[in-house]
Amino acid sequence: MMTKYLLFMVLYGSANSYFVVDAGYRTCDMFPVVLNTWAFTEATEKAWETVYLRNKSAVDAIEAGCTTCEKLQCDGTVGYGGSPDESGETTLDAMIMDGETMNMGAVGALRRVKSAISVARHVMDYTDHSMLVGDQATRFALSMGFKEESLQTETSHAIWKTWKDNCCQPNFWVNVSPDPKTSCGPYKPNPKKHAFERTKQKSVFSEKNHDTIGMVAIDFKGRIAAGTSTNGARHKIPGRVGDSPIPGAGAYADGNVGAAAATGDGDVMMRFLPSLLAVEEMRKGESPGAAGEYALRRIAAYYPDFVGGIVVLRKDGEYGAACHGLSTFPFSVCTQGSNKATVHNVTCMR
């Protein structure tokens, strides 16, 4: 079945004078740029302050921006006190990638430590590993001086209790008994069902349950970086790790080309590495907007109901975005001419 996709109009020009074209948002000269998913303007402006006013690196900007969202609990999808899993616990995923060195650090299912993006930065800076997960990631964080504390709040507990009182709906179980559409389990594999019989369920992701801040940035030296932070899918099965900390899925940066960061239905999106796909399309000469659209088009060919968005930044400062399954997708930008973030909205493909 052929799916129809809608391209979006874009801006082009200097920070003080733009005109409409169909290629991407672009700054005229090499200059710092900060770009992130959703209208998380406080995070954008903190990253901008770091990379522009303080003349820090793109990696520093990513850490500062994502940390801001962790503290503000952006939309309840980033940081502590949001997206409880089936047991009521909030766990965190994050990654940071340096496009200059192609080094990265990530944490998955991080427990009882709030500063997920900074722990990921410590994995990158102080180990030869790329990712640590679960309680072992927590132990690493504590050894690096991070504080151990509960990530549960009254709000997250209330979300979890409401879900339990609603027969644990929705959830992420399939091909099990008792019926996960009417029961909280415990579940056992159903030998009468097979993977090919699986019924596709409507995505639980939306504008307010979208899983992640994804951020990309360029600094004054032209170095590019990318990162993510999230508390994952609400009511996930404990131990679940989504796309956010996976390089090429949640985010990707290549100093020779550019960077991208994705958000949305992570269990689907991680199977296609959309951030890597977008960067590789730019390597072939595509504009950031077209590269992002291509990456999402690849997913929609298999999962036409998936929900997600992507922001894409080329090494020369041109940027764009694409989305699928929502009405619109807001993303935030800071660049030359203003210390305030601008929110753009892209009309999504369906």
260 and 292 Cβ atoms separated by less than 8 Å = yes
Whether 34 and 61 have beta carbons less than 8 Å apart is answered as yes
Using CA atoms, how far apart are residues 61 and 45, in angstroms rounded to an integer? 10
What's the rounded Cα separation, in Å, for the pair 260 and 251? 6
Distance, CA of 303 to CA of 316 (rounded, Å): 33
Going by the DSSP 8-state scheme, the letter that residue 195 receives in this structure is G
- 77, 91, 212, 263: the catalytic one is 212
Query: Can you state the percent helix, strand and coil of the chain, rounding each to 5?
Result: 25, 25, 45
Give the amino acid at 43.
A
135: helix, strand or coil = helix
Q: What distances in angstroms separate CA 305 from CA 108, 200, 248, one per listed residue?
A: 26, 9, 22
Whether the Cβ atoms of residue 117 and residue 92 lie closer than 8 Å to each other: no
**Three-class SS state of 220:** coil
DSSP H or E run through 19: strand 17-21
Instruction: Look up 41 and say whether it is catalytic.
Output: no
Query: Residues 296, 6: contact at Cβ < 8 Å?
Result: no
Contact 286, 295 (CB under 8 A): no
Distance CA(266)–CA(194), nearest Å, equals 23
Q: Please, are residues 317 and 26 in contact by the beta-carbon 8 Å criterion?
A: yes
Spatial distance between the Cα atoms of 267 and 100, rounded to a whole number of angstroms: 28
Distance of CA 255 to the CA centre of its chain: 20
How far, in whole angstroms, is CA 136 from its chain's centroid?
23
In what helix (H) or strand (E) does residue 344 lie, and over which residues does it extend?
strand 342-347
Point out the residues that are catalytic.
212
